[in-house]
Amino acid sequence: MTTPRARILDAAARLLAEGGRDAVSTRAVSAAAGVQAQTIYRQFGDMAGLFAAVADEAWARYLGQKKAGEHRADPVADLVAGWDLHVEFGLTNPALYKLIYGDPRPGDPSAVSGEGFDLLTGILRRVAAAGRLRLPVEAAAPMVYAASVGATLALIAAQSDGTLDAHAGLSRNLRDAVMAAVLTEAAAGGVASRALALKAALPAVADRFSAAEEVLLTEWLDRIAAAPRPT
């Protein structure tokens, strides 16, 4: 038998998916879950706490799916698939996605400091180690993340006004443009990409350097990676 908390979360998620945020009222949730209104407040504090719990549960499921799909032989394939999965999650769960990205909660990790961003950073480190990254991981990660979120929110807006078909190529085109900006061809990486690959590999051999040596080596590698490319 499901617990009152589980029934409340399920009811709130269902109402959110069917009617958006305005459909998730205390009365509607209590009726759908078969509980008294006081139970909602006892379990979640207030409606803001309920929304937060619904968002957290949905996001945890998404991250689990994302982790399960990673670790292909080609890390660039993981990067591309991660973008597509992100957009698919948003279009499949538009109200939840807007709740997560359009209504940040004070004190919560931001879009560039949460677990989803950490997963992206991990993929990009693998891409860098493979010699395929044009930019430092620290620069590439927020670019990819911001672009994927922007594309998803734009497509959700198009979905809501019935113009999604007219923007069918938006995610793919933006994804390809961002990938072109942060990636390099395997055979054309040059010295800069090799420097970034070595930087990505440093954590595995960090115990061989003092803290000062690691800082200095990182600085040198960043300089090499940032040097102008010969024309």
Residue type, 47: M
Listed ranges 52-56, 79-83, 204-208, 218-222; the one with the highest mean pLDDT: 79-83
Q: Which two three-digit tokens encode residue 227?
A: 């040097």
pLDDT of residue 129: 85
Q: Which domains does the chain show, CATH number per domain? A: 1-45 (1.10.10), 57-226 (no CATH)
Q: Judge contact between 81 and 69, C-beta under 8 A.
A: yes
pLDDT of residue 110: 47
CA dihedral 203, 208, 212, 215 (to 10 degrees): -30
Q: Judge contact between 192 and 229, C-beta under 8 A.
A: yes
pLDDT of residue 230: 47
217 vs 79, 156, 185, 201, 203, CA distance in Å? 27, 44, 25, 12, 12
Interatomic CA distance for residues 62 and 114, integer angstroms: 13
Strands (DSSP E) found in the chain? none
pLDDT of residue 41: 92
What average pLDDT does range 203-221 have in this prediction? 75
Q: Is the pTM of this model over 0.85?
A: no
Q: Which two three-digit tokens encode residue 112?
A: 């560039």
The mean of the pLDDT values for the chain is 84
pLDDT of residue 111: 47
**44-48, 67-71, 121-125, 133-137: the lowest-pLDDT one:** 67-71
Q: Tell me which residue has tokens 């209504």.
A: 103
| Size of the chain in residues | 231
Among 90, 104, 108, smallest CA distance to 149 is for 90
What average pLDDT does range 123-136 have in this prediction? 89
What is the chain's Cα-based Rg? Answer: 22
pLDDT of residue 70: 66
